[in-house]
Amino acid sequence: MSDDELMAQCDMGTFKSSGPGGQHRNKRESAVRLRHHPTGIVAQAVEDRSQHKNRSSALSRLRTLIALKVRRPINLDNYTPPVELLQILPLKSTIRSKDVSNQIGPNNIKFSPGMQALLDLLFAVEGSVSEAAKILGLSTGSLSRLILSDDSLRVAANELRASKGLKPLK
């Protein structure tokens, strides 16, 4: 989904933020708060004096929050991992094809859609890392390392596992 399409689903509010910065901080309403209508998720950014930069930061945070909190049902019978998920998988995955670009890490803005697809798969297999690893052509340890590579992904995966009565990943 493009930035414009996502923004069309949101209410944007601006406000003055407090904090360090003194006289320069509170002159304009540069802080941005986005509320996503379909999910009710709220993201905000206050760190920059530019409203445009804060809007971009809030939009990025909103994408990440949606990826972490919104689950999409998937059918495991004819499941084919989406490209977004293939891009975050380690190179040693047996289902990763040559036409998929280099592995994307947690600092890349394209990591969020892959993270969402991975969490959707984990949800479909009842939180079982070993089952998800089999589907993705990875070892359980390799998939666990991928999940643990990003703090927000680890927390979301552990919350999902706890809701299914499974132990957290460490």
CB of 124 within 8 A of CB of 135?
no
Query: Per residue in 6-46, pLDDT tens?
Result: 899 999 998 887 766 666 655 678 889 999 999 999 999 98
More confident residue, 3 or 8: 8
Task: Using a cut of 0.85, tell me whether the model's pTM lies above it.
Answer: no
pLDDT of residue 93 exceeding 80: no
CA-to-CA dists, residue 55 to 16, 58, 59, 113, angstroms: 14, 5, 6, 19
Predicted confidence band at 3 (pLDDT cuts at 50, 70, 90)? confident
Q: Which of 36, 40, 18, 35 is nearest to 27 (CA)?
A: 18
